[in-house]
Amino acid sequence: MRLLAILALEVLMSATLDAATTLDQRIDDAAKKVESKVIACRRDIHEHPELGNREMRTSKIVADRLRELGIEVKTPVAHTGVVGILKGGKPGRVVALRADMDALPVVEQVDLPFKSTVRTTFNGHEVGVMHACGHDAHVAILLGVAEVLAGMRDEIPGTVKFLFQPAEEGAPEGEEGGAMLMVKEGALENPKVDAVFGLHVTSRYPVGEIAYRPGSMMAAVDSFKIVVHGKQTHGAYPWLGVDPIVVAAQIVLGLQTIPSRQVDSSLAPSIVTVGAIHGGVRNNIIPDDVEMIGTIRSLDAKMRDDIHGRIKRTAEDIARSGGATATVTITDGYPITYNDPAITERIAPTLRRTAGASNVQVVNAVLGAEDFSFFQQKVPGLFFWLGTRPKDKTAEEAASNHSPLFYIDESGLELGVRAMAHVAIDYLKTP
């Protein structure tokens, strides 16, 4: 009897393994078949970019395509967002896959047949518009994943939600948007999502490679404004007033000691950057006020709070020492993009199997930011990099994301489709 039981178990395990292998192969075959569609879709969206909360055309393309695939569609979500719900033929959990849709106010300088020539108005200024961060590729990849998985829905053990998100780069002034608004409007509910996954194309890694990091992968980003209040006087008689420009200069230098001297840089890197200073109207008048604005980047939640407090104290105390006052305003931005360690450990073998073990690497955290982090605050998830740099260029030669020269090697998009599809299915299959 024991021998029969062992043989039965071996047969069951073999059948399960064969089924999994067959499904994996079907995903790979289907991804190859949709590759040309993915590239064509990416080029169309690239040629017609739209800024955050204005992705009307892109949103319609996404919603129409999902409906053609028999996927339930909810729109609009967060102004122009689209949520697709693919219910599998077997019971199981719910996994979400995300792609952002917005472009940037950048004039494209890449000479392509589908180069963007779009111009529009952004925060009161006429600007060029370009997919300089690769969100066009993200949309095309996720639509490819939707087609692949829709073709095998009867075998899916659970539900896949497709989150097509607007305004990752930030909403226009005075508007809400992005992942935070999608969460607020229930994108992770009905059905409730158990885990969320996303990718980002990058020129930092060559085409064919995937990179990730457990834990903190991308920084929290916050902004600050410091207004130094002095006392206006003639430039020839500074002792008759209080010079806020000199005080502001001292504050700028003082702020640099926070990440370099006041917090534990061995725990996690951080940055405090002053990006602009405005004060005065002519060369011989010491003004009343100077305003400076900047950004704060951090990879540790406690350090983030500590840095905020130190910025306020540093600015106020330096101003007081010079006879001035300082008003400090800190505005929270995106949280830390945090890859859940347990899910990362579970899914890392999927990435290695999909791209090849030698093409997957664990990398250092970066001080760039991603509003995918708002999804990860609500449900555990994993965000990873997809290399799209041409293999004949080094990372130093290739233009970075947000550059008007940013370029994507489209031969890497098919790997993005396979990776996202395998990640979704492997998560749903895992007990």
Give the DSSP H/E element, type plus range, for residue 15: helix 2-47
Query: What digits encode the pLDDT tens for the residues 94-145?
Result: 999 999 999 999 999 999 999 999 999 998 899 999 999 999 999 999 999 9
Q: Mean pLDDT over residues 66-77, rounded?
A: 98
Query: What digits encode the pLDDT tens for the residues 131-163?
Result: 999 999 999 999 999 999 999 999 999 999 999
Round to the nearest angstrom and report the end-to-end CA distance of the chain: 28
Whether the pLDDT of residue 376 is over 70: the answer is yes
Determine if the pTM surpasses 0.85: yes
Whether the pLDDT of residue 12 is over 50: the answer is no
Task: Tell me what pLDDT residue 123 has.
Answer: 86
DSSP string, 212-244: E-SEEEE-EEEEEEEEEE-B-EETT-GGGSB-H
Task: Tell me what pLDDT residue 21 has.
Answer: 67
Q: Where in the chain are the domains?
A: 17-217+337-429, 220-334
Query: What digits encode the pLDDT tens for the residues 389-413?
Result: 999 999 999 999 999 999 999 999 9
Of 5-9, 119-123, 321-325, minimum mean pLDDT range: 5-9
Task: Give me the chain's average pLDDT, please.
Answer: 95
Q: Mean pLDDT over residues 204-214, rounded?
A: 98
Active site residue 410: yes
Q: What are the structure tokens assigned to 178, written together?
A: 């992005």
Strand partners, 197: 97, 382
Task: Tell me what pLDDT residue 17 has.
Answer: 47
Hey, what CATH topology would domain 17-217+337-429 get? Aminopeptidase (3.40.630)
Q: What's the helix, strand, coil split of the chain in %, to 5?
A: 40, 30, 30
pLDDT-derived band at 431, boundaries 50, 70, 90: confident
Catalytic residue among 205, 212, 334, 427: 334
Whether the pLDDT of residue 6 is over 70: the answer is no
Whether the pLDDT of residue 9 is over 70: the answer is no
| 407 CB burial (10 A radius; 0-12, 13-18, 19+) | middle
220-334 has CATH 3.30.70.360 classification: yes
Whether the pLDDT of residue 218 is over 50: the answer is yes
> Within 10 Å of residue 85's Cβ, how many Cβ atoms?
17
SS3 389: strand
Catalytic residue among 47, 291, 316, 410: 410
> CB neighbours of 258 closer than 8 A, spacing ≥ 6?
270, 272, 307, 310, 311, 314
Active site residue 334: yes
Query: What digits encode the pLDDT tens for the residues 38-51?
Result: 999 999 999 999 99
